[in-house]
Amino acid sequence: MVLGIGCDIIEIERIKKSMEKDSFLCRYFTDREIELINKKAFRAAGNFCAKEAVVKAFGTGFGNISPKDIEVLRKSSGAPYVILHEKALSEFERLGASNIFISISHSKETAMAYVVLEK
């Protein structure tokens, strides 16, 4: 059963400008995500959208959930997956969710992510 869906889109250039500040990556991404991003703005934009899409699927927005509570990594195949921590994990459990399906895509100018929360 689908509990929620979330979608987000952002201009890659906006994230690229934000990455000029050292604090940006540390504020929004875990160490493993920063390693994955590897200074590539399109990857940071995709992960940023993924985090937004997750909280939209929760129906909460960020509110009390930190962006770092939602970790977006990649399988060896390149497919993205989500690991939840702290308040994001608590919300997932509160909703009775069992799975998160995620897709991330980008063009030259934009990145987007789509999430389905399943029970």
Instruction: Look at residue 36 in the predicted model and tell me its pLDDT.
Output: 95
Mean pLDDT of 78-94: 97
- The pTM for the full model equals 0.94
22 pLDDT above the threshold of 90: no
Instruction: Find the catalytic residue in 39, 51, 56, 75.
Output: 56
Domains of the chain: 2-118 (3.90.470.20)
- Long-range pairs of 42-45 with CB within 8 A, sequence gap ≥ 24: 42/12, 42/106, 42/111, 44/15, 44/19, 45/10, 45/11, 45/12, 45/14, 45/15, 45/106, 45/110, 45/111
Would the pLDDT of 107 be above 90? yes
Return mean pLDDT, the chain: 96
Per-residue pLDDT band at 10 (split at 50, 70, 90):
very high
- Average pLDDT, stretch 26-54? 97
Q: Is 68 annotated as catalytic?
A: no
Per the annotation, the verdict on 87 as an active-site residue is: no
